[in-house]
């Protein structure tokens, strides 16, 4: 599936491994949260990169002790009406200070991208929006009313000169 | 009232462009109806029985004359010459073509209005006391904080896809006219040791499982309000049920967790916020927004008006209207006027384009350019000099806007029902009209006194039947409409859900049955100053049930 990250379409070097299947040598894999927590110490010993895929009912706070060793967290949006991933992203970015990649996977539609971007999700796995549309969607609003993980300055600060 | 600065104007302008693009993609077939649905729903566009409906936000129910004129123009040019004011202080247009909606939004943007988040599973229009900033019993004006909440909640990136819709109401008076205890969050302004703050109620709601909100915090200081709201919203967004749309409102979460556990989770989330996560609204911004709501500069007048007293003495029709449709104003010599949208046999909450123009003109001439929409679906002119009332009344009367029934038995809240709504099981409008006709005699109405009858055409309770002193709920049984009657609901600071009296009635039997109930009340009340709801509280429901089902 096409991957758009930081405003460009890129090749995806990551693969998601469902269940307990063995991780082959040398690849970059994401695994479900449960497996990651169970195997955190062995996964850390692999000399390749390790990532986690969160499902909407996962508690993102469980990742807090491991955030330094994780390069990618995938946030699942199983359908566009399920907005739990937005809270997971805000928690990871703002409360726990995660600085690695957050990637939206699942049913990722153009019209959620602005909110995802504001939640600190800068990579989108989507077949439903071409690069040009993604770039357009991210520019739809030039001002925002509230602080969020995306780091934009809300208008209540701009109004008072900071 | 609040005025947009360049930032507000820019955001609303960009919304119009964004929605125009979404409509184009839908009309070209690029977006499927299923994918378009959540987008149009975040913008107040519903697919109804006959056409798309557009719901326009009226933040906390306040309008200027210029804005009202634009609503009149939209009714004239894009609808069938009327609009419907709703129980959430908004306005709905029932016949706007989808292709025209972007143009309508562009017109609204010209007068600092929008339809953002008037539907969908997001934070909706914040509602308030329709006498805010004018009422004599007000402690603090809730509108500045409603506006702060409006801005904070607009396009909030974390809370745009909640389990279900989310409604916040704020009041600042002793008497709750904003029904805060039947909202997802109800905020009651308080002052403690010289600090302004809010009593926070969570999990009220109507619909198929009505609940009175739980008191979650008895005092959140105003500078922490938005952080506290974020904590509530996050707990709800992460843990509210998404498996069943009928169990997805926050009231179900509060109920399933229990008030204590829900409160614990909110407090834990609030306490966990790190300093850089806090919203930290600058005091200068709080002050900037409050400045827009400074009281109007009203000429000093005596408490009583000779012109007003003389008109009452000489004109019985005027005197009656003055008894029923005025509300005490904080400034001597002034009053708040209810412009009734409940003529007998009319459509509750509907106004024609011509009526909207007239209301706009009157607001400029007599009302400090300040118009309110009440959750009871009437219009209020908040600041009118007593001296001007005879002239104002004459103009309202000529326009069919002087029905003397504010809070009386014919001032019904009525949802659109099966005549317009594709969720409804039964008609509401004709039943409401039939009830009005039984009680139409103005002397009879005045004798009955304050009595709220609310009608919903389905279990979703848009007509607030659960909190009517008498509630009427339309249900469908094997293709036939029946109406369940409830007694004892109320939406104020003593909020309660009404109890079902017994088996449903056929529509033609409802007016007569209610008349028997009301006449029983008139026999049983301890005096004319004991309201129906108080007699009901004193004697219990049995005498009234008996009257309801007594055969003719």
From B150's Cα to the closest Cα of chain A, the distance in A is 9
- Where residue B347 sits, what CATH number does that domain have? 3.90.480.20
Interchain contact, B155 vs A148, CB within 8 Å: no
Residue B36 clears pLDDT 90, i.e. is over it? no
pLDDT of residue B365: 98
Tell me the average pLDDT across B474-501.
95
What is the rounded radius of gyration, in angstroms, for the C-alpha atoms of chain A?
16
Single out the residue in B110, B140, B170 at which a domain terminates.
B110
Q: Is residue B119 part of a domain?
A: no
User: Is residue B292 a contact partner of residue B147, using CB atoms and an 8 Å limit?
Assistant: yes
Q: Is residue B118 part of a domain?
A: no
Number of domains in chain B: 4
From A150's Cα to the closest Cα of chain B, the distance in A is 10
Tell me the average pLDDT across A113-118.
96
User: Is residue B416 a contact partner of residue B428, using CB atoms and an 8 Å limit?
Assistant: yes
Q: Is residue B241 part of a domain?
A: yes
Tokens 């780091």 label which residue? A151
Single out the residue in B345, B368, B398 at which a domain terminates.
B398
Superfamily name and number for A3-158: Aldolase class I (3.20.20.70)
What ranges do the domains of chain A cover?
3-158
Q: Is residue B198 part of a domain?
A: yes
Range of the domain at B271: 127-291
Q: How far apart are CA B446 and CA B323, in angstroms?
A: 9
Q: Is A94 on the interface with B (CB under 8 A)?
A: yes
A and B: number of Cβ contacts within 8 A: 103
Both B235 and B317 in one domain: the answer is: no
Both B145 and B247 in one domain: the answer is: yes
Q: What is the pLDDT of residues B352-368, one digit of tens each?
A: 999 999 999 999 999 99
Interchain contact, B157 vs A119, CB within 8 Å: yes
Interchain contact, A86 vs B157, CB within 8 Å: yes
Q: Which residues of chain A are within 8 Å of residue B234 when distances are taken between CB atoms?
A: 87, 90
pLDDT of residue A151: 85
Lowest mean pLDDT among A131-135, B133-137, B232-236: A131-135
Q: Are strands B379-385 and B371-373 parallel, antiparallel or unpaired?
A: antiparallel
Both B418 and B394 in one domain: the answer is: no
Tokens 């499927």 label which residue? B32
Query: What does the block give as tokens for B261?
Result: 């556990």
Q: Which residues of chain B are within 8 Å of residue A147 when distances are taken between CB atoms?
A: 279
Q: What is the pLDDT of residues B182-197, one digit of tens each?
A: 999 999 999 999 999 9
Query: What does the block give as tokens for B125?
Result: 């229009």
Q: How far apart are CA B35 and CA B25, in angstroms?
A: 11
Tell me the average pLDDT across B302-324.
98
Average pLDDT value over all residues in chain B? 96
Tell me the average pLDDT across A32-43.
92
Q: Where is B47: in which H helix or E strand?
A: strand B45-47
Lowest mean pLDDT among B25-34, B118-127, B499-508: B25-34
User: Is residue A152 a contact partner of residue A118, using CB atoms and an 8 Å limit?
Assistant: yes
Residue A12 clears pLDDT 80, i.e. is over it? yes
Q: What is the SS3 assignment for B339?
A: strand
Both B78 and B141 in one domain: the answer is: no
3-state secondary structure chain A: CCEEECCEEECCCEEECCCCCCCCCCCEEEEEHHHHHHCHHHHHHCCCCEEEEECCCCCHHHHHHHHHHCCEEEEEECCCCCCHHHHHHHHHHHHCCCCCEEEEEECCCHHHHHHHHHCCCCEEECCCCCHHHHHHHHCCCCCCCCCCCCCCCCHHHHCCCC
- Best probe of the B interface among A58, A78, A82, A83, by most B CBs < 10 A, is A83
Q: Which residues of chain B are within 8 Å of residue A94 when distances are taken between CB atoms?
A: 274, 276-277
Percent of chain A with pLDDT over 70: 99
From the number of C-beta atoms within 10 Å of its C-beta (0-12, 13-18, 19+), residue B523 rates as exposed
Confidence of residue B21 (pLDDT cuts 50, 70, 90): very high
From B182's Cα to the closest Cα of chain A, the distance in A is 25
DSSP annotation of B4: -
Q: Is A86 on the interface with B (CB under 8 A)?
A: yes
pLDDT of residue B103: 97
Both B12 and B62 in one domain: the answer is: yes
Residue A27 clears pLDDT 90, i.e. is over it? no
Query: What does the block give as tokens for B380?
Result: 């209020």
Q: Is residue B120 part of a domain?
A: no
User: Is residue B130 a contact partner of residue B177, using CB atoms and an 8 Å limit?
Assistant: yes
Tell me the average pLDDT across A154-159.
97
Both B160 and B226 in one domain: the answer is: yes
Q: What is the pLDDT of residues B392-440, one digit of tens each?
A: 999 999 999 999 999 999 999 999 888 888 888 999 999 999 999 999 9
Phi-psi region of B395 (alpha: psi -120 to 50; beta: other; left: phi over 0): alpha
Q: Which neighbouring-strand residues pair with B505?
A: B483
Residue A49 clears pLDDT 90, i.e. is over it? no
pLDDT of residue B498: 97
DSSP annotation of B497: P
pLDDT of residue B50: 67
Both B253 and B151 in one domain: the answer is: yes
Q: Is residue B355 part of a domain?
A: yes
pTM of the model: 0.96
Residue B49 clears pLDDT 80, i.e. is over it? no
Q: Is residue B491 part of a domain?
A: yes
Both B534 and B459 in one domain: the answer is: yes
Single out the residue in B230, B256, B291 at which a domain terminates.
B291
């Amino acid at each position: 599936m096409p991957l758009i990250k930081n405003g460009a379409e890129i090749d995806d070097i990551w693969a998601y491994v469902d269940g307990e299947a063995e991780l082959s040598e040398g690849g970059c894999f994401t695994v479900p949260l449960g497996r990651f927590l169970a195997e955190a110490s062995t996964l850390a010993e692999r000399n390749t990169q390790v990532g986690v895929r969160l499902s909407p009912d996962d508690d993102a706070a469980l990742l807090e002790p491991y955030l330094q060793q994780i390069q990618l967290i995938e946030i699942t949006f199983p359908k566009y009406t399920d907005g739990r991933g937005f809270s997971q992203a805000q928690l990871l970015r703002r409360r726990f200070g995660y600085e690695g990649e957050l990637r939206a996977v699942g049913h990722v539609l153009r019209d959620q991208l602005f909110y995802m971007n504001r939640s600190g999700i800068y990579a989108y796995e989507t077949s439903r929006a071409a690069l040009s549309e993604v770039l357009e969607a991210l520019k739809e609003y030039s001002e925002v009313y509230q602080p969020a993980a995306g780091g934009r300055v809300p208008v209540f600060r701009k109004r008072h000169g900071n | 009232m609040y005025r947009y600065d360049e930032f507000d104007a820019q955001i609303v302008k960009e919304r119009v462009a964004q929605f125009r693009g979404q409509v184009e993609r839908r009309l070209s077939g690029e977006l499927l109806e299923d994918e378009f649905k959540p987008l149009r729903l975040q913008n107040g566009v519903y697919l109804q029985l006959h056409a798309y409906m557009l719901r326009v936000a009226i933040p906390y129910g306040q309008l200027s004359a210029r804005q009202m004129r634009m609503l009149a123009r939209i009714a004239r040019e894009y609808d069938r010459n009327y609009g419907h004011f709703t129980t959430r202080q908004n306005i709905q247009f029932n016949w706007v073509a989808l292709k025209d909606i972007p143009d309508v939004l562009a017109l609204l943007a010209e007068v600092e209005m929008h339809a953002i988040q008037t539907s969908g599973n997001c934070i909706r229009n914040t509602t308030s006391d329709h006498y805010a900033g004018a009422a004599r019993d007000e402690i603090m004006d809730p509108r500045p904080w409603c506006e702060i909440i409006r801005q904070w909640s607009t396009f909030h990136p974390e809370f745009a896809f909640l389990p279900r819709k989310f409604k916040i109401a704020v009041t600042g008076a002793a008497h709750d006219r904003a029904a805060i205890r039947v909202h997802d969050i109800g905020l009651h302004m308080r002052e403690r040791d010289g600090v302004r703050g809010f009593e926070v109620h969570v999990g009220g709601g109507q619909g198929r499982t009505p609940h009175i909100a739980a008191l979650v915090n008895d005092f959140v200081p105003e500078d922490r309000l938005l952080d506290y709201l974020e904590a509530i919203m996050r707990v709800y967004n992460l843990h509210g049920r998404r498996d069943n749309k009928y169990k997805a409102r926050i009231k179900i979460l509060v109920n399933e967790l229990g008030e204590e556990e829900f409160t614990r989770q909110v407090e834990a989330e609030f306490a966990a916020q790190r300093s850089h996560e806090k919203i930290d609204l600058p005091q200068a911004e709080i002050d900037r927004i409050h400045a827009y709501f400074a009281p109007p500069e009203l000429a000093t007048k005596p408490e009583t008006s000779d012109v007003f007293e003389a008109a009452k003495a000489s004109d019985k029709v005027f005197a009656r209207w003055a008894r029923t449709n005025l509300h005490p104003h904080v400034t001597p010599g002034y009053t708040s006027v209810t412009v009734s949208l409940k003529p007998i046999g009319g459509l509750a909450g509907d106004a024609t384009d011509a009526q909207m123009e007239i209301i706009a003109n009157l607001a400029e001439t007599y009302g400090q350019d300040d118009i309110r929409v009440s959750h009871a679906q009437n219009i209020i002119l908040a600041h009118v000099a007593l001296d001007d009332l005879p002239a104002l009344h004459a103009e309202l009367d000529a326009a069919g806007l002087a029905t003397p029934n504010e809070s009386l038995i014919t001032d019904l809240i009525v949802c659109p029902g099966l005549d317009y709504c594709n969720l409804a099981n039964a008609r509401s409008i004709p039943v409401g009209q039939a009830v009005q006709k039984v009680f139409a005699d103005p002397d009879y109405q005045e004798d009955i006194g304050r009595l709220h009858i609310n009608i919903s055409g389905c279990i979703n309770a848009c007509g607030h039947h659960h909190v009517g002193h008498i509630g009427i709920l339309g249900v469908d049984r094997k293709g036939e409409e029946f109406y369940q009657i409830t007694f004892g609901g109320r939406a104020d600071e003593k909020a309660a859900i009404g109890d079902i009296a017994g088996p449903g009635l056929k529509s033609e039997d409802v007016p007569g049955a209610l008349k028997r109930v009301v006449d029983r009340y008139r026999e049983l009340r301890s005096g004319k100053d004991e309201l129906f709801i108080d007699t009901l509280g004193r004697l219990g429901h049995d005498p009234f049930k008996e009257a309801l089902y007594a055969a003719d």
